[in-house]
Amino acid sequence: MISTSDFKVGMTIRFEGDIYRIFEYQHVKPGKGGAFVRTKLKNASTGYVIERTFRPEEKFENLRTEVHPMQYLYEDGDQLVFMDNQSYEQLSLPKSVLEGRLDLMTLNMEVNVIYIDDQPFDVELPTFVDLKVVETAGAVKGNTVSGGSKSAVLETGAVINVPLFIEQGEVIRIDTRTREYATRA
């Protein structure tokens, strides 16, 4: 059993009979009243993210998770197919598991599939991915000094903001946690 003071991003707990993964947490100590912990939790079975507030003395069952490195092979309808790098076994997961991150994946990308109680639960993308810019507005001489940004369409269809000096055809590095431009690749 763990308390709210032990919370970490990525930790898996059992709450109200369901399995949740901690996406965000924040310890809050207001000037008046007792401290509490504000969290965002992702349900393992439905994929829905909920927000909950807990008192510091509450206890939760910490669930053991396993990470299996796998390779993303292809999309099959509403399923994504992955292959285990050691056993070459294939695994299909619904697209909803990667909601909001699917457009940052490329074929043959190495990912980590997270298992809870021998059941696949989530997919972790690499922290940074290198993707090619296929469409963006051209830079006008002199406007890169202002430090502004523009939108760019990447090879996977993702649309992100990039600095004004990035041009079509360049390969850039994206932080998959924040979906933000990091640097040129």
pLDDT tens profile 59-71: 988 888 888 999 9
Burial of 162 (0-12, 13-18, 19+ CB in 10 A): buried
Determine whether domain 65-124 maps to CATH 3.40.50.620: no
Query: With contact defined as beta carbons under 8 Å apart, do 167 and 133 qualify?
Result: yes
CATH level 2 (architecture), domain 128-184: Beta Barrel (2.40)
What CATH number labels 2-62? 2.30.30.30
What distance in Å separates the CA atoms of residue 54 and residue 6, rounded to the nearest whole number? 12
Q: Which residues of 25-39 are buried (b: 16+ CB within 10 A; e: fewer)?
A: beeeeeeeeeebbeb
pLDDT greater than 60 at residue 144: no
Contacts (Cβ under 8 Å, ≥6 apart) of 96: 47
**What are phi and psi for residue 72, nearest 5 degrees?**
-75, 120
pLDDT greater than 90 at residue 173: yes
Q: How many CB atoms lie within 10 A of CB 176?
A: 17
pLDDT greater than 80 at residue 51: yes
pLDDT digits 0-9 by tens, 85-142:
889 999 999 888 887 788 999 999 999 998 887 888 788 889 899 999 999 887 666 5
Q: How many CB atoms lie within 10 A of CB 87?
A: 8
pLDDT of residue 4: 84
pLDDT of residue 15: 87
Q: Among residues of the chain, what percentage have pLDDT more than 70?
A: 94
Q: Do domains 2-62 and 128-184 have the same CATH topology?
A: no
Strand ranges for 29-78 from DSSP E: 36-43, 49-54, 59-62, 65-76
Spans of all domains in the chain: 2-62, 65-124, 128-184
Query: With contact defined as beta carbons under 8 Å apart, do 83 and 108 qualify?
Result: no
pLDDT band at 42 (very low <50, low <70, confident <90, very high): confident
pTM confidence score: 0.70
pLDDT of residue 66: 86
pLDDT greater than 90 at residue 174: yes
